[in-house]
Amino acid sequence: MLDRTPTFLLHTSDSPSPSRPASDARDDDKLLDSYSKAVTSVVDRIGPAVVRVEPQASGRVAGMGSGVIISPDGLLLTNSHVMQGAREARLTGSDGRTIDARVIGDDPDTDLALLRANGDRFPFATLGDSKRLKRGQIAIAIGNPLGFESTVTAGVVSALGRSLRAKSGRLIDDVIQTDAALNPGNSGGPLVATSGEVIGINTAVIMGAQGICFAVASNTASFVVSELIRHSRVRRASIGIAGQTVPLPRRISYAAGLTGKFGVVIAAVEPGSPAEHAQLEQGDVILSLDGEPVGGVDDLVRLLNGERIGRFVELVLLKKGEMRTVTITPVERKTKAARVE
């Protein structure tokens, strides 16, 4: 009987496969070495700035996540959902040293929290410009998944400009999608480019999916940090309505010069609000704000940013079957009630 067991030829690094030129094997080694050097270099530089974050409530540990120090005086970014409303935290560095920290500000709408560690001269990482990111570039995640400290995973930027709904109900815009493996405990840790700059703050995974993870873009983080330092909160505008996304008749979209097929119908108006002063009523349909189409509640929320607090804006709306233009002055939002903006 013939033995049909396949024969496997083993080759050492000094004996390349006869089917591949020796130069190709050496080139592969160089590529792998370059990739490894890029990742290890980033870890050496940024790793000391990454800490384990343990929120403290009534003197007890109330959870665990990761964080990254972004200034030598101890400013630290983590996720809002890691802090869970706690005002203090214990930090553990890669060297095992523990440090106390307090919350400067918390923004559930972007799932970011800013803390300050007690002390100075901390190793720190720099927030980069996420607008310069490209799909396919290397992304490195550093954190403490499942309690395993100083864990490193690497992948690529899979997609840019994603939206992710925060626990507050608001959409987080400009979210980075990556396939760098994340697990519970990675939340709040940095997503880093090979340049050594932080390009995102890891925030979420889709359970049951493989290689679909998300990070809040560094430009969003930079904006939130500046707002929290200046105001201890992120200011957002409100006109005082509750709204719902509704489909628009084609003739209405055409008459308004809109490409979208949806608008926001006013379901309720808060007493004493800018909307009431502008005589907005239940049943009015908002079509645009300052010339920007309002294709749904999320669009309206996004457009009502802090820059529009206290200044005139123009709403184009459908009122009792007629197109109207209304001038309104938003105020700072004070509540986080769903669908009230």
**Catalytic positions:** 81, 111, 187
In 208-336, DSSP assigns E strands to: 213-217, 237-238, 241-247, 262-269, 285-289, 292-293, 313-319, 322-328, 331-332
Q: Assign residue 218 a region: left if phi > 0, alpha if psi is -120 to 50, beta otherwise?
A: alpha
User: With the C-alpha atoms ordered 78, 121, 142, 198, is the resulting torsion angle positive or negative?
Assistant: positive
Tokens of residue 6, six digits? 């396949």
Cα 116 to Cα 28, 119, 167: the distances in Å are: 45, 9, 24
Residues 35-58 as b/e (b if ≥16 CB within 10 A, e otherwise) read eeebbeebbeebbbbbbbbbbbee
| DSSP string for residues in 23-44 | HHHHHHHHHHHHHHHHHHHHHH
Rounded-to-integer distance, Cα 328 and Cα 298, Å: 19
Contacts 24+ apart (CB under 8 A), 307-310: 308/237, 309/235, 309/236, 309/237
User: With the C-alpha atoms ordered 187, 189, 194, 197, is the resulting torsion angle positive or negative?
Assistant: positive
SS3 330: coil
Rounded-to-integer distance, Cα 120 and Cα 135, Å: 36
